[in-house]
Structure 1
Amino acid sequence: MSPKEVVLAYYDALIDPVGITMYVHQNLYIQWYSTRGYIEIDSREIITFARQTKGNYASLRLEISHIIEEGNTVSVRYTNYVKTKDNPYDEIVLSHSMAIWELKDNLLYRGYVMSHLD
């Protein structure tokens, strides 16, 4: 897969704690700035994040507006949409995000994410 295809597959598997492991390097490191503050995430924590997301939402969908690949770096701009388990019929915007991904061994290795809750 190309770096862009790896990033797209990762986002497709974001709510799947098992599937996500196919796209994450064992030394993954993410720096994430959000409206809730700054966090750092490693490969174990991203799997926990996927598990929590699956537990909290009936579905998660990303609408990607921009994706640019240059070598082993991919930049992506997207909006997260979710359906809650309490109300699985209404989709709401969760956040707007921008991420830069560096790949190593055809896996996500470094991530730099900025997000804003809607």
Structure 2
Amino acid sequence: MKKTSGILPVLLCAVMGCGTLAAIPAARAATQHIVIDNGDNALTKEEARERQQQWDETRSLRHKVNRRVEKEFDKADNAFDTRDKCEQSANLNAYWEPNTLRCLDRRTGCPVTP
């Protein structure tokens, strides 16, 4: 009878221990940490500094892209005006070349000023 009473506490501890160990990961997974501060800490300052540095480093690239877009727009806008002038030209040999965006002479293929 002593063996039974000795085994019972061991089994009870094993069962309780397993149940506790099984509950620990679930509790650990659901744990959330809430940090309340004014938002002025070293991490946020470092993140802000890195973002500002990246913004400054890409400034030159952004300007290049914007200049390129503006240049392409100006080119298309000028071509539109030139096409209108070419089509309304009194020169019967003048025609608009859409691939080169130029007004050309039909006989020579040279650019014509409409």
The normalised TM-score by structure 2 is: 0.19
Q: TM-score, normalised by structure 1?
A: 0.19
Larger RCO (alpha carbons 8 Å, 6+ apart): 1
Report which of the two has the higher share of helix. Answer: 2
**Rg (Cα) greater in structure:** 2
Please state which structure has a larger fraction of its residues in strand.
1
